[in-house]
Amino acid sequence: MKKRPRQVDVARFAGVSPATVSLVLNGRTGGNVRISPETRKRVLDAIQHLGYVANPVARSLAGGENRLLGVFTYEALFPIQNQDFYYPFLVGIEEEAAALGYDLLLFTSRGAQGSSRTIYQDGINRLQLADGAILLGHEREKGELISLIQEGYPFVFVGRRDVPGVELAYVAADYREATATLMAHLFEHQHRCIAYLGMRVDNESARDRYDGYCLAHERRGLSVDSRFVHHIDTQEVTPNFVDGLLKQGVTAFVAEHDSTVDALTVAAACLGKKIPADFSLAMLGDPLSGRKELAAVTAFTIPRRQMGSQSVKLLYRILSGAEPMKQVTLKCQLVPGETVAVPPIVQSYP
Amino acid sequence: MKKRPRQVDVARFAGVSPATVSLVLNGRTGGNVRISPETRKRVLDAIQHLGYVANPVARSLAGGENRLLGVFTYEALFPIQNQDFYYPFLVGIEEEAAALGYDLLLFTSRGAQGSSRTIYQDGINRLQLADGAILLGHEREKGELISLIQEGYPFVFVGRRDVPGVELAYVAADYREATATLMAHLFEHQHRCIAYLGMRVDNESARDRYDGYCLAHERRGLSVDSRFVHHIDTQEVTPNFVDGLLKQGVTAFVAEHDSTVDALTVAAACLGKKIPADFSLAMLGDPLSGRKELAAVTAFTIPRRQMGSQSVKLLYRILSGAEPMKQVTLKCQLVPGETVAVPPIVQSYP
DNA sequence: CTGAAAGCGCTTACAG
DNA sequence: CTGAAAGCGCTTACAG
């Protein structure tokens, strides 16, 4: 296979300098460069004749940037379980990257399947391969993010991240307001004792939801009853546990995670209770598309696709220097389902 | 924000030449190069201290490799419809890339959402950013593949691709044998007149299936009746059309595409026929996981995940020079469903 | 065992 | 309007 022609070959053939070929190729016709139509034609003919193709690698090296956007996830980007966890984000990311003419660099090289990936490996930040990066998923520790900031590496997190003393860019869903709205929906359905069932993990999005829960109480002039707030594992949401809460007067549950919704459904069945006739149930998020059986649960949408595209947009603006590291928050939408109703008459308050 | 460190900075810091840094970085310790352990350590410490990451663009320009594997798809990699079309391939690709320590470069930069992407844009092959690439999806034309080969660019296609006079690497599912096996299954259930319903598009995988259909007849000593072979659009699979075939003695259908399975199901309902009591039905592939309603259809699995990981493995071996452009074919597995039964007594042959 | 040098194929000021 | 030159950040013979 014979070597492809270089810019030099084209220049020689057309009887001009390599610089001129480059100028013609890039349409750099503004400013103080002007190529005569004849020269232009001669160059184009030479290109055509030789079948010249500019080397993109050399191009980006000379140009300073490589038009690569990194995508880093702490877990496998394409998990086997939980297929569509990242998917909607990726749809948005690809969409916007395509629109802006960027290619996507997925950092898959380190971190075994099971274990979580880290940005710095042997003290090296491989993200630097790309002009900037989008970060997704649950980080183990904030240290890496701080290093990234200190390096001045441009990145945008998908989801709110709170790092004290540091300004970092993210695009997040407004879980706080969404939860407050969902709570208001329950209040409107006459519920007054609403249990909050969260997970044990403590992260920004969990805190935001709990904040929304408190905020909603405040807005109603109610106070939060700590007996009804639980941060527990799903396995602890047993029929017994649920029954206990019901006996204390709880008429509705809000659940951070869909596995808790499952547990509540099972508990209801065991206790011979009907949802929403006997108690109401809502989810603080939306069921992944793989879980069609949860479609009827009252919940709110997380604008994942939009979060993806907006994060790329923000990163692009940061790269252009048009924007500092800043934060974007997107609205969620309440999705009334079939799991909320006015509660039955409450027999007795303890 | 301060510029990232260059190789030169590391060299200066360690008190060595850039060449030495490069040698350490690439583990070029064989042959007549030998780096003293002390120097090595000094370099590594400098790298660590400065947080140095080699620029992949410069690396590939200089002739080294950058441990980037390209992934090119003709359509959006993350489609909104048809979510899981590419997904299983990507699972395998990511898995194997991670195992081999490669990052993945997704070529998203060109080609609008709707329209199909092309490898060469303005005559430029951007794939060259990566050491090699995996290609997925339905190409419009073979010209680009030929150019790629002529350039000597290393790539592996996922799915069989036939380019006359050219040896190209692919990892494919054995549709031919899978179809023949499925046909044998139908023959064993006493079917003798089995209609083949394919799509209008003519590509390798469609041809392979049809070949399998013919092969199965041959093995049984039967000949293919051309009245029962149709390459048509799904909309043409009307109740009328189906009824016509049944009246000609057809007792079973094999369908290339799941939309044809849908059309047959509808037709059966319209005609008041039951599947498989009145006629049998099988699909030449597997339903995407999003289509749970097709789970009971007799079909065969396409080992998509394995195709993904094997294609990366093959590409890797090609890059190492261990393997020429070669072809790998993977077995499919028959999945008997509930849509095949022994046909009712055939009343009359026309 | 390590350094100086050339080179990969472009782009972009800078002259003229 | 176009050319000569420097430079992007690496790697790889080639010396020594």
Task: Give DSSP secondary structure letters for A201-246.
Answer: ---HHHHHHHHHHHHHHHHHT----GGGEEE--GGG--HHHHHHHH
Q: A350 falls in which pLDDT band (50, 70, 90)?
A: very low
Q: What are phi and psi of B127, to 5 degrees?
A: -55, -25
Strand D nucleotides with an atom less than 7 Å from a protein beta carbon: 1-5, 7-16
Q: What is the pLDDT of residue B269?
A: 94
Mean pLDDT of A97-105: 88
SS3 content of chain A, % helix, strand, coil (to 5): 40, 15, 45
Searching chain B, which residue's CA lies closest to the CA of residue A50? B123
Q: What is the spatial distance between Cα A254 and Cα B265, in angstroms, rounded to a whole number?
A: 41
pLDDT at B1 over 60: no
Nucleotide nearest to B23 (CA to C1'): D11
Here the tokens at position A335 are 């999705």
Mean pLDDT of A79-88: 78
The distance (Å) linking the CA of A151 with the C1' of D1 is 44
Searching chain B, which residue's CA lies closest to the CA of residue A100? B109
Q: B275 falls in which pLDDT band (50, 70, 90)?
A: very high
Pairwise CB contact (< 8 Å): A102 & B108? yes
Q: Any idea which of A76-85, A102-111, A250-259, B327-336 has the lowest mean pLDDT?
A: A76-85
Mean pLDDT, chain B, rounded, equals: 88
By CB atoms closer than 10 A (0-12, 13-18, 19+), residue B344 is exposed
Q: Any idea which of A16-30, A280-294, B175-189, B301-315 has the lowest mean pLDDT?
A: A16-30
Nearest to B84 among A55, A83, A128 (CB): A83
Q: Which of A5-9, A115-119, A273-277 has the highest mean pLDDT?
A: A273-277
Q: Is the CB of B98 under 7 A from strand D?
A: no
Mean pLDDT of B84-112: 85
Q: What is the pLDDT of residue B350?
A: 45
pLDDT tens-place string over residues B10-56: 888 888 888 888 888 887 766 677 788 888 888 888 888 887 878 77
Q: What is the pLDDT of residue A1?
A: 42
The distance (Å) linking the CA of A29 with the C1' of C16 is 19
Q: What are phi and psi of A141, to 5 degrees?
A: -150, 155
Searching chain A, which residue's CA lies closest to the CA of residue B124? A53
Nucleotide nearest to B14 (CA to C1'): C2
pLDDT tens-place string over residues B120-158: 766 567 787 788 999 999 888 898 898 888 778 889 999
Q: Is the CB of B47 under 7 A from strand D?
A: no
| Helix (H/G/I), strand (E/B), else coil: B238 | coil
Q: What are phi and psi of B128, to 5 degrees?
A: -60, -15
> How many CB pairs below 8 A link A and B?
147
Q: What is the pLDDT of residue A110?
A: 67
pLDDT at A268 over 80: yes
Here the tokens at position A27 are 């349409």
| Helix (H/G/I), strand (E/B), else coil: B337 | coil
Sequence-distant (≥ 6) Cβ neighbours of residue B44 within 8 angstroms:
B24
Give the Å distances, CA to CA, from A290 to A79, A268, A306, B84. Answer: 13, 23, 19, 11
Q: What is the pLDDT of residue A115?
A: 66
Searching chain A, which residue's CA lies closest to the CA of residue B104? A106
* Chosen from B1, B44, B77, B103 to mutate, greatest number of chain A CBs within 10 A: B103
Through-space distance between the first and last CA atoms of chain B, rounded to whole angstroms:
83
Searching chain A, which residue's CA lies closest to the CA of residue B129? A57
The distance (Å) linking the CA of B23 with the C1' of D12 is 10
Q: What is the pLDDT of residue A256?
A: 95
pLDDT at A117 over 90: no
Q: How near does any CA of chain A get to the CA of B325, in Å?
A: 15
The distance (Å) linking the CA of A130 with the C1' of D9 is 15
pLDDT above 70 as % of chain B: 93
Nearest to A103 among B102, B107, B120 (CB): B107
Q: A257 falls in which pLDDT band (50, 70, 90)?
A: very high
pLDDT tens-place string over residues A12-61: 888 888 888 888 877 776 667 778 888 888 888 888 788 777 776 787 78
The distance (Å) linking the CA of B45 with the C1' of C2 is 18
Please tell me which residue lies nearest to nucleotide C9, judged from CA to C1'.
Answer: A58
pLDDT tens-place string over residues A281-329: 999 999 887 788 899 999 999 999 999 999 999 999 998 877 777 899 9
Q: B3 falls in which pLDDT band (50, 70, 90)?
A: low
Pairwise CB contact (< 8 Å): A61 & B61? yes
Q: What is the pLDDT of residue A31?
A: 63
Q: Is the CB of A33 under 7 A from strand D?
A: yes
Pairwise CB contact (< 8 Å): A98 & B76? yes
Pairwise CB contact (< 8 Å): B101 & A110? yes
Mean pLDDT, chain A, rounded, equals: 87
Q: Any idea which of A9-23, A106-120, A327-341, B62-76 has the lowest mean pLDDT?
A: A106-120
Please tell me which residue lies nearest to nucleotide C6, judged from CA to C1'.
Answer: B62
pLDDT at A342 over 90: yes
Give the CA count within 13 Å in the CB-facing half-sphere of B208: 20
* Chosen from A50, A60, A167 to mutate, greatest number of chain B CBs within 10 A: A60
Strand C nucleotides with an atom less than 7 Å from a protein beta carbon: 1-5, 7-16
Q: What is the pLDDT of residue B89?
A: 94
Q: Between residues A27 and B96, which one has the greater pLDDT?
A: B96
Mean pLDDT of B305-311: 97
Q: What is the pLDDT of residue B281?
A: 96
Q: Any idea which of B81-85, B155-159, B278-282 has the lowest mean pLDDT?
A: B81-85
pLDDT at A183 over 50: yes
Closest listed residue to residue A290, CA positions, set A83, A79, A77: A83
Q: Between residues B71 and A61, which one has the greater pLDDT?
A: B71
Q: B346 falls in which pLDDT band (50, 70, 90)?
A: low
pLDDT tens-place string over residues B201-237: 889 999 999 999 999 999 999 999 999 999 999 999 9
β partners of residue B252:
B194, B280
Pairwise CB contact (< 8 Å): B98 & A111? yes
pLDDT at B349 over 70: no
Q: What is the pLDDT of residue A122?
A: 57
Q: What is the spatial distance between Cα A139 and Cα A88, in angstroms, rounded to a whole number?
A: 19
Q: What is the pLDDT of residue B216?
A: 98
The distance (Å) linking the CA of B107 with the C1' of C8 is 23
Q: What is the pLDDT of residue A220?
A: 96
Q: Between residues A110 and A41, which one has the greater pLDDT?
A: A41
Q: What is the pLDDT of residue A238?
A: 95
Q: A348 falls in which pLDDT band (50, 70, 90)?
A: very low
Sequence-distant (≥ 6) Cβ neighbours of residue B173 within 8 angstroms:
B159, B205, B302, B303, B307, B329, B330, B331, B332
Q: What is the pLDDT of residue A234?
A: 92
